[in-house]
Structure 1
């Protein structure tokens, strides 16, 4: 893939909030997780974990925890991406908290792009009650849920969202 192809690949991805009921095949889930495992991480500690949720009852409970966002309950698969503080703090102390958040965020980005590469659709969901998600999934105290990646065979919106010009983000040498 050349750089133009890559930019095109990124540009045509969008968040999708409407899904078919078709479940994800195990090979699709495995592919997404294999891609996540290639993500860079601080000290190569991979301070992230994922809870893959396909059970309808658990998906609906997570939709409630996500302030009633319907796509979370309707997507056939959810990847709840979590930071694992203990894994990174064992090497980096307090700074390891930040590294675990960064590691999990990068892994989730790779997962989102992997779904796109497979012709699937996803929506990164960060708005949720963290304590409710912890309770629904039985997460241990050193694990922090950062994102719910709703994934499935979806119905993309009719048009892509407008993006800011890159010049709005870039500062050279100093602010």
Structure 2
């Protein structure tokens, strides 16, 4: 893949909130997780964990915890990406909290791109009641849910979302 193909690939990905409900193949799930495992991480601590949710009842509870966002219920698989503080803090102390959040975020980004590479659709969801998600999944205290990544065969937007011009984000040398 050349750089033009890569940019086209990235621009073709969008958040999708409508899914067919058709289950993912186990090989798709394995591929997405394998891609996440290649993500860079602070000190190679890999301070992230994922709960793969395919059960209808659990997805319904997650949708409730996610402020009733329907796509969490309708997507056949939801990857709950968590920061693992212990893995990072054991090496970096308090700074490890930030590193664990970054590790989880990068791993989730790789998962979105992996889904896109498999012609699947995804939607990163960060709006949820953290304690509810923790309770639904029985997460230990050293894990913090960072994102609910809905993945499935979906209905993409007909028109790409408008993006801010790059110059609105970039500052050179100083602000």
- 2:154 corresponding residue in structure 1: 154
- Tell me, in whole angstroms, the C-alpha distance in 2 between the residues paired with 1:84 and 1:43: 14
- Are 1:73 and 2:86 an aligned pair? no
Query: What's the offset of the Cα at 1:158?
Result: 1.3
Structure-1 separation of matches of 2:70 and 2:157: 16
- For the residues of structure 2 that align with 1:117 and 1:137, how far apart are their CA atoms? 28
2: distance between equivalents of 1:35 and 1:20? 24
| Correspondence 1:3-18 to 2 at 5 A | 3-18=3-18
Unmatched tracts of structure 2, length 5 or more: none
Mapped partners of 1:106, 1:138: distance in 2: 23
Specify the alignment match of 1:88 in structure 2: 88
Aligned CA RMSD, in angstroms, stands at 0.4
Superposed, which structure 2 residues align to 1:21-100 within 5 Å?
21-100=21-100
> TM-score when scaled to structure 1?
0.99
Q: How many residues align?
A: 175
Q: TM-score, normalising length from structure 2?
A: 0.99
1:146 match: secondary structure: strand
Q: Secondary structure at the match of 1:83?
A: strand
- 1:38 Cα deviation from its structure 2 partner: 0.1
2:110 alignment counterpart: 110
Match of 2:120 in 1: 120
2:141 is aligned with 1:141: yes
Is the partner of 2:144 in helix, strand or coil? strand
Distance 1:21 1:149 in 2: 15
Quote the offset at 1:146 in angstroms.
Answer: 0.3
In structure 2, C-alpha distance between the alignment counterparts of 1:28 and 1:164, rounded to whole Å: 32
Distance 2:150 2:21 in 1: 13
Structure 1: gaps (5+ residues)? none
Give 1:152 shift: 0.2
Matched with 2:164 is 164
User: How many angstroms does 1:21 deviate by?
Assistant: 1.5
Superposition misfits of 4+ residues, deviation over 4 angstroms: none
Displacement after TM superposition at 1:41 (Å): 0.2
